[in-house]
């Protein structure tokens, strides 16, 4: 035995779910190695081994892990700096609400890096974080980031947006956030496939706002459309895979 994440079991009661990554070092003089990995999953529809298993000399493994942590800390720092910068802009020009929305969006994007991208970071600050709370926080941060993305786009292209579609977007995202917070984890996860299809509609409505702004020749609309299109393609492809 060289390492574990959580505890495997033959039932939900005997299993301790854990979401993370693990680097284990072992030595042997044998020419052949047999590695046995035990996995049990009774809680998450997408559970199991999520990342590739990498086998390499210990020094290389440490180097890979440090580079991943360094990259995510860099991204986290960038998100925090951008968020603080736009927050300061809002304090000086409180009439420009787009700065406030983009600041909060950046903070939630940084939170997503901590909670789901590199598990070493989240466990560094919160070693006793339970899987249930972690999954709820990840989805909550994700939907909150998209909520403020919606508000940011509307504040930029207010004349191009229609309030009916905007209210649908905001209401749907707020509903998702409430469901994540109130529903038991197993119940919410069982709805993920349907919710992700509905979420495609939200991304298309956001595209509608920006496309309309492009047609009206709003400043910066083209660049916003390119970025949002890439984001929407990622969301749609992820939703199709999840539903399948």
> Residue 243: which pLDDT band, with cuts at 50, 70 and 90?
very low
User: In angstroms, what CA-CA distances link 136 with 144, 162, 180, 183, 185?
Assistant: 12, 31, 6, 10, 7
Read off the pLDDT of each residue in 138-154 and give the average, rounded to a whole number. Answer: 82
Q: How far is 19 from 51, CA to CA, in rounded Å?
A: 11
Residue 145's closest CA among 196, 106, 114, 178? 106
> Residue 119: which pLDDT band, with cuts at 50, 70 and 90?
low
Q: Which of 105-109, 116-120, 155-159, 234-238 has the lowest mean pLDDT?
A: 234-238
Q: Give the tokens for residue 220.
A: 């910066």
DSSP label at residue 216: T
So what's the pLDDT on residue 44?
Answer: 75
Read off the pLDDT of each residue in 226-244 and give the average, rounded to a whole number. Answer: 49
User: In angstroms, what CA-CA distances link 112 with 11, 34, 61, 204, 205?
Assistant: 31, 36, 24, 22, 23
The model's pTM = 0.72
Instruction: Match 């209210």 to its residue by tokens.
Output: 167
Residue 147's closest CA among 110, 111, 176? 176
Most confident segment among 43-47, 137-141, 193-197: 137-141
Q: How far is 152 from 158, CA to CA, in rounded Å?
A: 10
């Amino acid at each position: 035995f060289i390492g574990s994440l959580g505890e495997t079991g033959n039932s939900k009661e005997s299993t301790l779910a854990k979401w993370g990554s693990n680097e284990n070092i072992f030595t042997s003089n044998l020419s052949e190695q047999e590695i046995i990995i035990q996995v049990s999953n009774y809680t998450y529809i997408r559970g199991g081994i999520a990342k590739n298993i990498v086998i390499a000399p210990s020094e290389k493994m440490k180097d890979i892990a440090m580079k991943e942590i360094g990259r995510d800390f860099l991204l986290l720092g960038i998100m925090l700096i951008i968020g603080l910068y736009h927050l300061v802009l809002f304090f000086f020009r409180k009439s420009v609400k787009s700065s406030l929305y983009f600041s909060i969006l950046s903070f939630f994007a940084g939170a997503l890096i901590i909670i789901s991208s590199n598990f070493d970071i989240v466990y560094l600050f919160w070693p006793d974080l339970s899987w249930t709370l972690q999954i709820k926080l990840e989805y909550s941060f994700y939907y909150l980031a998209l909520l403020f993305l919606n508000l940011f786009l509307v504040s930029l292209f207010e004349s191009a947006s229609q309030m009916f579609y905007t209210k649908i977007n905001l209401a749907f995202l707020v509903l998702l956030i409430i469901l994540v917070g109130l529903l038991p984890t197993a119940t919410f996860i069982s709805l993920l496939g349907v919710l992700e299809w509905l979420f495609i509609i939200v991304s298309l409505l956001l595209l509608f706002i920006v496309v309309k702004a492009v047609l009206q020749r709003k400043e910066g609309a083209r660049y916003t459309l390119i970025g949002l299109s890439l984001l929407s393609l990622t969301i749609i492809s992820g939703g199709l895979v999840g539903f399948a």
